[in-house]
Amino acid sequence: MSWLISMTIAFVSSPIFFRLNPALFSLAPWEKQGEIYDRAGLRAFRWVLFHSPLGWINPNFHLRASRADCDRLLRETNSSEAVHWLTFLVSAILAISYFLHDHAVYGYVMLLVRIPFDLFPIMLQRRNRGRVRRVLKRPAHTI
């Protein structure tokens, strides 16, 4: 059920979120350096993602060999973050409905599954966006 929700939301909403103004996804001052995400265990999650089949889900997250590609990459991270937020919201509503209809175990499972499949990817996209923005602030090397 979780995968079906995720794939449906991603298919329908990704193109819409990709076109949104990137300023809507700005980072708070306390998260720009990414230290908060490192403390949350995001490096381990990133390692697992890169060393498992899950790393191939979205090949658009690879930065091509130019700074000009950073805008596209920022839009990809924005879109992915928005899709994961929307998926988490829909799954949380479904989990609450399970709780209200005396199926608490299903509700807990729905929420537990969403932690590695939504909350950690949201944090990863925010951390990556901070990294890309720091690269863009550096002066470009001229030849």
- The tens digit of pLDDT for each residue in 63-108 reads 676 777 788 888 888 998 999 999 999 999 999 999 999 999 999 9
Residues 6+ apart with CB under 8 A from 14: 79, 80, 83
- Please report the pLDDT score of residue 59 as a whole number: 67
Helix (H, G, I), strand (E, B) or coil at 18: helix
Pick the more confident residue, 108 or 3: 108
Q: What is the mean pLDDT of residues 42-54?
A: 84
Q: Where are the domains of the chain?
A: 1-7+72-143
Residue 142 pLDDT more than 60?
no
Mean pLDDT of the chain: 85
